[in-house]
Each structure stands twice: as structure tokens, then as C-alpha cells.
Amino acid sequence: MKFRNLTLSTKFTIAISLILTVFCVIFSVILYYHLKQRVLEDANEKTKIILTQIDAVGDYVNEELRPAVFDLIRNATSEDFIVEAMSTTHVRFSVMRRFNEELEDYVYRRVSINPINPKNTADELHKRLIAFFNKNRGLTVWNGIITHNGQEYLIRAKPVIVKKGCLVCHGKLKDAPRSLVKRYNRTVDLPWKEEDIIGVESVAVPLATTLAEIKGIAISTFVFGIISLFFLFLSLQGAF
């Protein structure tokens, strides 16, 4: 049946249905991107809060707890280094491990190309981030969406910069506490100096599950709209 042979009422109903179908498509697409943007903003804010909090813990260890412990043990021996109380990296990982027991989606890393603890060696992604911060020395933080091992992540990262106090452990072998050298089997001097970028610290959130949920909402909205149009079409046909 040709379109020109249809009744005026049928043509009108079809035209209205097509217009509303296009509207449903546009609305669903806009809804998807709006929800996606809101989710990314929310995830970005949460990674900022987490990184800020973990930095506050690290700063406390670096500026207050570690000097106090050094003063406490200095009279007894200069060989001791209590990792659980004096290593900012160890404390950060310990705090985040407990954090992840409740919120396991947030992936925390603090890594270096040449770390004291081999477990904290940077992977290819974090090596690229370290190189990026070395090329952009004035940049203190970066966030964005990356693809790693086939999965999308929203990531917030910042450079780990060498301060004077860091060189006690991350500098010359002769200056490092003997217990630390023995624990990690250090045999060589480390090349770092003040203001070098020694590594990178990051918090990442996988996006696959959240984006799939958003797509589901958008598709459901579109399907609901199409079903509503179908019943509207039948109603209009009956009315005329």
C-alpha cells in the first residue's frame, strides 16, 4: 500500500509517530550522555577526596610521626627503621587496603621506576604517567579516562616528588637505616635528588559496570517510549 493512498488520518498518525520516535531517540541519547557526565563528575570527585585523604595520612607520617620515632630510637641505635610507622608508602597502602575492604572498586597505586620495595615497581601505564609529569613539571595533578588491559578507568594521578627527608631512605646506601637495607636487600645507591619525580600516585575507578548500567537506563527509556508510541498509534487509529 502506497503512502499517497492512505487516509489523511493515517498519514497524520504516521507522521506524529515518526516525529515522536525521533524525539525518543534524541532524548535517550541525551539522557545517556547526561548520566555519563554526572557519573564521571561524581567518580572524579571521589578519587580527589581519596587521594587528598591518603596524602594527608602520608604527610602526617612524613612530617610528624617519622621524625618523632627517629628521635625516640636515635639514642638506642641509628640502625632501626620501623616500616609500619615510618614508611609513608607502607602506611598509605595499609590504609587503602582497609579502605578497599569496604569499597573495593577504587584502585590505589603508589609506584616508582626504581623503588626500594620491588612490589611497588611501576607498570607500563604508570611509567607513561611518570614520563608525562616529567615533561610537565608544573603540573601537580592529572585526571582523565584511560584504557588499560582492555578496560576503561577514570584515573586521578599526581607525581611523587623527592623531598629532603626522603633521601634518608631513597638516597645513598650509607645513609639508609641498616634494618631497611637488610629488609629490602638494597645493594646500590639510588639516583634521586631533591625535587626529582621519584614516581606517581594514583586512584583509579573501573567504568565498565557503571557505563553498562547507564546504557541500560537509556535503552529502557527508549523501549518504553517506543511501546508508548505503539499504543498511541493504536489509540489514534481507533479514534479516527
Average pLDDT on 181-191 reads: 83
- 61 versus 171: which is more confidently predicted? 171
Evaluate if residue 4 carries a pLDDT over 90: no
Residue 118: how many other CB atoms lie within 10 Å:
8
Q: What is the pTM of this model?
A: 0.63
pLDDT tens digits for range 209-222 = 677 777 777 777 77
User: What pLDDT shows up at residue 67?
Assistant: 73
- 209 versus 124: which is more confidently predicted? 124
Domain boundaries defined on the chain: 48-214
**Binning pLDDT at 50, 70 and 90, where does residue 1 land?**
very low
How far CA 91 is from CA of 45, 95, 100, 233, in Å, comes to 23, 6, 14, 65
CA 216 to CA 95: how far, in whole Å? 35
Average pLDDT on 29-51 reads: 79
Average pLDDT on 172-181 reads: 80
Q: Pull the grid cell for residue 39.
A: 557519573
Evaluate if residue 205 carries a pLDDT over 90: no
Alpha helices in the chain (DSSP H): 8-60, 66-74, 83-86, 88-100, 124-135, 167-170, 178-184, 208-239
Q: Pull the grid cell for residue 32.
A: 545517556
User: What pLDDT shows up at residue 236?
Assistant: 59
Tracing cell 638506642 back to the chain, one arrives at: 76
pLDDT tens digits for range 41-70 = 877 777 887 787 777 777 777 777 777 667
User: What pLDDT shows up at residue 199?
Assistant: 92
User: What pLDDT shows up at residue 79?
Assistant: 55
Q: Which residues, in sequence order, are CB contacts of 44 under 8 Å at separation 6+? A: 143, 154, 156
Cα atoms in the 13 Å half-sphere on the side-chain side of 20: 17
- 117 versus 20: which is more confidently predicted? 117
CA 237 to CA 106: how far, in whole Å? 54
Evaluate if residue 131 carries a pLDDT over 90: yes
